[in-house]
Amino acid sequence: MMEILRILNSEDKVLGAKHISNELRKRGYSLGERAVRYHMRILDEKGFTEKIGHKGRIITQEGKNELNNGLIFDQVDFAYSRFQERIYNISLDLSSATGLVIANISSVNQLDAKDTIESVFEYGLAVSKNIMYTKSDDTEYIKTVCGTTIDGVFQKNGIISRPSYGGLVKVEDNTPLEFVEQIAYEKTSITPLEAFSGKGNTSILDVISSGDGVIPANFRTIPMTKQKQAKQLLSQLNDIGIGGLIKMGKPGESVLGINVPEGMIGVSIIGGITPVCAAQEDGYDLNVKLADEFVSYESMTSVKYNTRPILSNATKKASNVSFVLEKIFNLMSQVTFDYNTYEGDIITNISYVNKENLDESLEIINNLYKDYPHYFMGDKYALLDDKEGKVGIATICGLTVDGILTNNGIVSIPIYSGLLDIDKRQPRFIELISYTGSSVDPHEIFINKDMCNIATVDGNSDKILASVHSVPYIARDDALDIFDSISDIGFNFLDIGKPNQYIYNSKIDMYHFGYATAGGLNPIEKVKESDVSVDVKSIEKIMDFKYFETF
């Protein structure tokens, strides 16, 4: 049914069962007209579609909302599939500079942001010379060429191009050094560069002014047998005003710290959103949507642009990028908490507030716990002094449970970090990021992008941090005994599933069961939402449980 909603949403007009059946067949679904009509009646009943006489159905606003917030496991796979679909539909002709390219769309509230945006093009810190300004419903929009357009050109010319990561690249003395943050394109409901967009994440203007800073970039691999052809295509792209190449490696050579398999070549391209991220740095309010639509390249306007970025060749040896799961496994291995004696070391999040704000912060946290104890991983906290006039507030990290289970011979793996919507019907994840392939705890991304909403007036629109963990179902009875024991000392669980059962709307692998825990940073997020300055740090430190006190 989700695929039917996608078809209705993409065409945004009245569609009949025959047309939908044909479209489903193109997407690999064998569903006849009668079956489509059956599903459409169900969608009508749910209010997701509306029947328009005998012509067919249209998608309703409720249907669009469901498509955005519905089966998140479906969206996790769909985010990557959407990129593949976009790449396939590119029709850019290099000889005539005409055809469809993928565009990022950013809404702009202040028109003078254009000056900052266009200045970035002059330094080559963009994918293309072309840009488009449009207006709809009194809102100004800026469209820039997305870097995945290059993947589409490669693919159309027989080069397998696999977008792997989007993230941030550190630059020193105009030389790209390494990826300092990255998220894999697969298994995420939010596109990687979108996760890192926003004021405070990038420093593009610093790169322009001093040669040092952080810029958005993405990374893909291509077969080494196609390197010569890829270089020729990149040269042809330069001729029509599309550039942005940061580095193309040698076969099997790591690129900007990302390992490349034997027989493959790594290629890093500047993020197409770089100019609008610069405007965000400059204080302008923009809402960025990546790879959001197709635009005719010839219909766009050219601005002053350098196809060769101001960046020097990335020749310095980079440190291999690290992923958060590696850090997690090492911290899990240090957990010594005994579920019988309630003694030992646990994993903690430690966030810092100014000393003068400590009492206010603790009052906010205590009030939250009184009304919403299930928003907490545990009922305890600890305080740590800091040399810089701040105090650390330590909260229990949900990964402690994985460590406790592991210590008792039970494999427990954190698989997703997400944003759980507490709505009137039932809680469900509206965003999920896999721990695999991410260099940063996804909860920090949700906090930095102000995506949470803790303890609202009615409690029906809350969006809290939560994580999903997976355990082999053969160990379920033993795991439940441990869960019962640690619950007695204040550990909380949002949900514990049965074998092969969804956790809310997150899929669990066969022969496993899942459990969900509230994010240990939820109380800290509430402090932040209360306009108290706080430095958020997740999965930060191993601490002895004896230092914790009850809220």
299, pLDDT greater than 90 = yes
Both 295 and 334 in one domain: the answer is no
In-domain check, residue 475 = yes
Final residue belonging to a domain, choices 69, 89, 117: 69
Q: What is the pLDDT of residues 343-377, one digit of tens each?
A: 999 999 999 999 999 999 999 999 999 999 999 99
Final residue belonging to a domain, choices 48, 69, 90: 69
- What pLDDT shows up at residue 172? 93
Both 142 and 44 in one domain: the answer is no
Which residue type sits at 224?
M
22, pLDDT greater than 90 = no
What is the three-class DSSP state of 2?
helix
* Section 117-140 average pLDDT: 88
Both 233 and 353 in one domain: the answer is no
pLDDT band at residue 29, thresholds of 50, 70 and 90? Answer: low
412, pLDDT greater than 80 = yes
Q: What is the pLDDT of residues 491-547, one digit of tens each?
A: 999 999 998 888 888 888 899 999 999 999 999 999 999 999 999 887 778 999 999
- What pLDDT shows up at residue 7? 85
- What pLDDT shows up at residue 69? 58
Both 335 and 298 in one domain: the answer is no
Mean pLDDT estimate for the chain: 89
Both 61 and 149 in one domain: the answer is no
91, pLDDT greater than 60 = yes
Both 124 and 268 in one domain: the answer is yes
Q: What is the CATH number of the domain that holds 23?
A: 1.10.10.10
DSSP state of 372: -
Alpha-helical (H) ranges within 89-226 are 113-122, 148-156, 192-196, 204-210
Sign of CA dihedral 377, 470, 440, 195: negative
Higher local confidence (pLDDT), 161 or 427: 161
In-domain check, residue 91 = no
Q: What is the pLDDT of residues 462-491, one digit of tens each?
A: 899 999 999 999 999 999 999 999 999 999
In-domain check, residue 194 = yes
Number of domains making up the chain: 3
In-domain check, residue 313 = no
Both 46 and 137 in one domain: the answer is no
Higher local confidence (pLDDT), 427 or 12: 427
Both 387 and 532 in one domain: the answer is yes
* Section 216-241 average pLDDT: 96
In-domain check, residue 422 = yes
Q: How many CB atoms lie within 10 A of CB 383?
A: 14
* Section 416-427 average pLDDT: 82
Both 122 and 211 in one domain: the answer is yes
Q: What is the CATH number of the domain that holds 513?
A: 3.30.70.1360
What is the three-class DSSP state of 335?
coil
In-domain check, residue 75 = no
Could you give the percent of the chain with pLDDT greater than 90?
Answer: 59
In-domain check, residue 535 = yes
In-domain check, residue 320 = no
Both 290 and 157 in one domain: the answer is yes
Cα separation, 432 vs 435, whole angstroms = 9
Give long-range contacts, CB 8 A cutoff, 24+ apart: 497-503.
499/473, 500/473, 502/73, 503/468
408, pLDDT greater than 90 = yes
Both 332 and 192 in one domain: the answer is no
pLDDT band at residue 70, thresholds of 50, 70 and 90? Answer: low
Domain that holds residue 206: 100-302
Alpha-helical (H) ranges within 95-141 are 113-122
Q: What is the pLDDT of residues 129-158, one digit of tens each?
A: 999 988 877 778 889 999 999 999 999 999
- What pLDDT shows up at residue 42? 82
C-alpha dist (Å) from residue 197 to 29, 182, 193? 35, 12, 6
Both 216 and 348 in one domain: the answer is no
3-state secondary structure 407-435: HCCCCCEEEEEEEEEECCCCCEEEEEEEC
